[in-house]
Amino acid sequence: MNYTAHSQEVGIASYYSDNLKGYKMANGERYDPEDLTCAHLTYPLGTILKVARKDNPDRSIMVIVVDRGPYIKGRAIDLSKRAARELGMIDHGLAEVIIAVVKRPNTIATTMISSKYLAEGN
């Protein structure tokens, strides 16, 4: 896939604990570690982001913003466990990443895009 980024930032990514499985996210869905989802403090819910490792930009994933956070100083994004695994950051727990906006939601309907949609490779 080839996407044009609308904006981007560099920051530290972490990922959700397994203990949060089933907890309700800000968009109303339940957290599933196998979905390609994330939390971000400022991007609107439903925004699709491309997240790439800064040390290996070819290693990247697409996630949808479904929650708010992270609330730990110095962190830019919290990823689902699957997203973290695909970025190769499970062992270290943190990774410096480049976050690029691929698609911003433009209607209420787009904020309801299911994280399952991305997880299925759409």
Q: Is 63 helix (H, G, I), strand (E, B) or coil?
A: strand
Whole-number pLDDT of residue 118: 56
Whole-number pLDDT of residue 117: 54
CATH topology for 8-119 is: Barwin-like endoglucanases (2.40.40)
Domain ranges of the chain: 8-119
Distance CA 87, CA 43 (A): 21
* Percent above pLDDT 90 for the chain: 75
Kind of pairing between the strands at 75-79 and 48-53: unpaired
Helices (H), 63-104: 81-87
The pLDDT tens digits of the residues spanning 24-65 come to 999 999 999 999 999 999 999 999 999 999 999 999 999 999
Stretch 103-116: mean pLDDT:
60
Contact 11, 97 (CB under 8 A): yes
Q: How far is CA 89 from CA 16, 25, 105, 107, in A?
A: 12, 22, 28, 33
* Percent above pLDDT 70 for the chain: 82
